[in-house]
Each structure stands twice: as structure tokens, then as C-alpha cells.
Amino acid sequence: MNQYRNLRVWQQSMDLVEAVYELTDSFPDSEKFGLISQMRRSAVSIPSNIAEGARRNGHREFHHFLGIAKGSLAELETQLEISSRLKFKLDGDYEALLTLSDSLGRMISKLQSSIKASDYPNISEAPEFYKRGDD
């Protein structure tokens, strides 16, 4: 029923959400309703769209929702750049988040390619290469 939880791409996007929340905790209070809120919404949108797409009625819809997740990821990357330019305290988190974001973007693209090229009607029948193993 919740096969999306087994997807590495969903799990990694959840890791990204946690990292964004931790990072934005150190931002100025004046950004509470600005950049903090926007970054958190963008981050939360990524795994949410992956999950929603996986539960839809077929691979075309899943592919579509993965595209929305990629758009949210691009928003988040832009917001990270804005945070860096505004000289918010990012320490090493900025590079780590960009690395995680880049990896996640590649995973989403590979999953989209796999789904588009396949005849698999739903996530439970999709190839194992993007599902998490028992590791």
C-alpha cells in the first residue's frame, strides 16, 4: 500500500527535508514568514509529490508528479543560493545540501526515464533498481 516508502528517492527527499529544517532553524527570525517558510514548503513538496504520484493510477501520472517534485527541488536550490548570497549562516551545510539536491535530482530524472520507457502500470510492478534493498 505504501510502496513509495521503499523508494530511495523518497527516502533521500525526506532526508533533505530534515536537513532544510535544521538549516533554517539558524536563519534570522525576520525570515520566519519569508525565506524559512518558502524553503520548508519547497522541501516538503518534494517527497509529498513523489508519494502522491506513486499512489496515482499509473505511470503517466507518476511521471507527472515526479516533474513537479523536480520543480520544487529547483526552487529549493534557488532559495539556498539566495540564502548564501544574503550571507546567512550556512557553514558547510550549503555545499552538503547542494550535493544532496544534485543527487536527488539525478535520481528523480532516472526514475522518470524508467517510468516513461516502461509499461509498468504502477509502482509495485516497477523495476527494482530504484527501490531500496534490505540494506
Measured CA angle at 13 (ends 62, 130), to 5 deg: 55
The structure's pTM equals: 0.85
Which tens digit of pLDDT belongs to each residue from 2-39?
A: 689 999 999 999 999 999 999 998 898 999 899 999 99
Residue ranges of the domains in the chain? 3-122
Q: Does domain 3-122 have CATH number 1.20.1440.60?
A: yes
Residue type, 44: V
Which tens digit of pLDDT belongs to each residue from 73-114?
A: 999 999 999 998 998 877 777 888 999 999 999 999 999 998
Helices (H), 1-135: 8-24, 35-54, 59-85, 93-116
Instruction: Report the interhelical angle of 93-116 vs 59-85 (nearest 10°).
Output: 160
